[in-house]
Structure 1
Amino acid sequence: MLRKTAVWMILLCAGAACTDAGPSEPDDSIGLQAHVYISSALDIMEFNSVRRYEIDWTAFREETFAEAAGIMTIPETYPVIVSALERIGDGHSFFQEPIASAPPAAGNAPSAALVDGVGYLDVPAFSGGGEDGDSLALLYHGLIEGVDTMAVQACRWVVDLRGNTGGNMWPMIAGVGPILGEDTVGFFVDPDSVFRSWTYYQGEARINDAPVNAAIPPYEPQSMAPHVAVLTDSLTASSGEAVAVAFRGRDGARSFGQPTWGLSTANAPFLLDDGAVIFLTVSTMVDRAGVVYGGELAPDEPVVGEKTGDPQTDEVLEAALTWLSTQSCA
């Protein structure tokens, strides 16, 4: 069985296990449990945030505890932690209150078609992982195979990321792998300039060469290096942007549409004692050419138009197909 690495984006930490600071001095105006809980959350932020070297943490803590005055219980701390995450200012971190069970994998089903002799793959948001992620990756491979075998020479593809608001990047990377190609396709970089690589190889999406999700057995396309048009819009976000970044710097790839949402950073989950989770932005996306992102991704060819999937009414798709028609197959 394929060995998995427990990764949502980069790493998985439990509570203060990824910090080395103890609780702040208790404040008599705040209940002890609430104080310890907030202090633990602030430790996570201070030692792991992508902006950890940009913030005056002494002042940040003082402001947070001032906001928490009069709070006695842990549930009362939740709005204070939400406020603190907003003040970090990365635009991507968020807080999830304890839930009875894990939420179901979210997202519409992917689809594929042959459009004017070109392979078309729609890649929607997906929030699942583990076996669900592997199943999704394998579904993508099946869809790609279905289109690939219909085409005389499937050396041209459209990868449509419009409306993909994110979730879990790894099943998506593993899924589009036959089109993306085997290579190191991107990186995360943290404030200490530590890089973690993203790789697609033999059906596996890997971080630092450790498999996260995979399509087993993988599909091997007719063309190992097809020309690819990547479509984005203002709703392409987070993990959706990660897939777009994976195609940046790749020979034979060009992007069309509108700038992405601007969340090209990586969140890691930090579990608190009561089951709540801080999803904290810890690093920034980098493409294979070394371009660092962190904000929106501007397309190579800006095109305004509604996503319909029909080249007669979808101006972005039409522009992509026009460009692909000029690209010769080897």
Structure 2
Amino acid sequence: MKPIVVILFVLHSLHARAQQPDSVRIFIDSALHTMQKHSAFAGRVNWKKMTGNVHRMTKNARTYKEAAPGIKYAFNALGDKHGWLVFGEEDYHNPAFSPDTGRVSADIKQAASKGAKIYCGTVNDRYAYISIPFFGGQTADQVTRFAQRIQDSLCKVITPSTRGIIIDLRLNAGGNIAPMLAGLSNVLGNGDVSISTDKKGNITGRTTVQNNSIIMDGVTRASLANNCGDLSKMPVAVIIGPVTGSSGEGLAISFTGRDKSILVGEASGGYTTANDGFLLAGDNYGMVLAVSYMTDRYGKPYQENVRPVIEINGGDNFFDHAHDQKIQAAVAWLDKQ
């Protein structure tokens, strides 16, 4: 009977190989390896057990698409609310996480519905006001133009009588932070504004303002052609809320530790990780993972969200500054500076 057993085992092995091409197994293992090596949340997962589970789930997969459920299973175990998977035309996010729209006031929802716009003005004739929205542009030209739009908008409302600046990030859900920082570079002043750390606490990135340019890990990402002078000594109140997310949170964090600066409003959306993208085999297959936590200029990590120093829940009246409780709280603080 022994030869028959051996023959059956060989036939079973050949059948299994026929069901799953080597390319698919490599695809699966590569995805698992990428998560284990790069995810900021990799320590939450027992990878030996996870690998076994995924292999069992995908044992009959013959294509990358058929292997996707196993990859999604592993990704969900990370608890990554900021990252996503790309399977061809599908963008997959962990279904356990969704924006906490219940915390967003009707007023802010209405303001956001008007689209991504920069708003600027003055408050009480002595404070410059600017609202900076989401911005997703990535090309050098898009980045430069948006950074200059921010700066030009701010400069329109800076006068000899300006005593402080209110930066409103309640409509800023993220995007590309480089032009946002560049647009406010003369407000932030020269020096580090944030660093990023990996899951072991090692510094993986550094963002610096240098003469109206934003330098990330030694590479200049955005620059201003001109500005309206040094505003780095001005007191600044930054308003945040539940829509403030990702790069919007990073922008708020960049003011933490700046002299005469304060955060006002409500806790942010909670997307305070830095993401990185990784390609997988196949046509348009890959993953975006949270690889590190945002930290401020002193190295403090923000693993949950960004919280204001002056907490004002509700009271939003975005287009009527005199009746907006968050703006009025910012004014009250600025009046004391």
Normalised-by-shorter TM-score class = 0.7 to 0.9
| 1:139 equivalent in structure 2 | 149
Q: Of the candidates 306, 319, 324, which is equivalent to residue 309 of structure 1? A: 319
User: Which segment is superposed worse, 301-310 or 29-38?
Assistant: 29-38
How much does 1:40 deviate? Answer: 1.5
**Which amino acid in 1 is paired with 2:279?**
L
| 1:121 equivalent in structure 2 | 130
| 2:46 equivalent in structure 1 | 56
TM alignment of 1:260-299, pairs within 5 A = 260-273=268-281, 274-299=283-308
Equivalent residues, number: 293
TM-score (norm 2): 0.80
How much does 1:75 deviate? Answer: 2.4
Query: 1:111 touches 1:122 (CA, 8 Å); kept in 2?
Result: yes
**Which amino acid in 2 is paired with 1:261?**
G
| 1:154 equivalent in structure 2 | 162
What is the Cα-based RMSD across aligned positions, in Å?
Answer: 2.2
User: Which segment is superposed worse, 109-118 or 62-71?
Assistant: 62-71
Query: 1:158 touches 1:229 (CA, 8 Å); kept in 2?
Result: yes
SS across alignment from 1:191: coil
| 1:202 equivalent in structure 2 | 211
SS across alignment from 1:289: coil
Higher-Rg structure is 2
SS across alignment from 1:187: strand
Give deviations 1:45-93, integer Å, cap 9, x for gaps: 1111112344321112122223324322122333433332221113222
**Which amino acid in 2 is paired with 1:35?**
R
SS across alignment from 2:157: helix
Q: Does 1:38 align with 2:28?
A: yes
Q: Of the candidates 235, 239, 246, which is equivalent to residue 243 of structure 2? A: 235
SS across alignment from 2:302: coil
Q: Does 1:109 align with 2:117?
A: yes
SS across alignment from 2:33: helix
Give deviations 1:244-289, integer Å, cap 9, x for gaps: 1101111111111100111111100112232223111111111112
Higher helix content, 1 or 2: 2
Identity %: 27
Q: Does 1:94 align with 2:90?
A: no
Q: Of the candidates 57, 63, 80, which is equivalent to residue 73 of structure 1? A: 63
Looking at structure 1, the residues matched to 267 and 28 of structure 2 have their Cα atoms a distance apart, in angstroms, of 37
User: Which segment is superposed worse, 236-245 or 201-210?
Assistant: 201-210
**Which amino acid in 2 is paired with 1:292?**
P
Query: 2:187 touches 2:230 (CA, 8 Å); kept in 1?
Result: no
Q: Does 1:181 align with 2:220?
A: no
Query: 1:30 touches 1:72 (CA, 8 Å); kept in 2?
Result: yes
| 1:246 equivalent in structure 2 | 254
Distance 1:97 1:127, change over 3 A: farther
TM-score (norm 1): 0.82
Looking at structure 2, the residues matched to 119 and 88 of structure 1 have their Cα atoms a distance apart, in angstroms, of 43
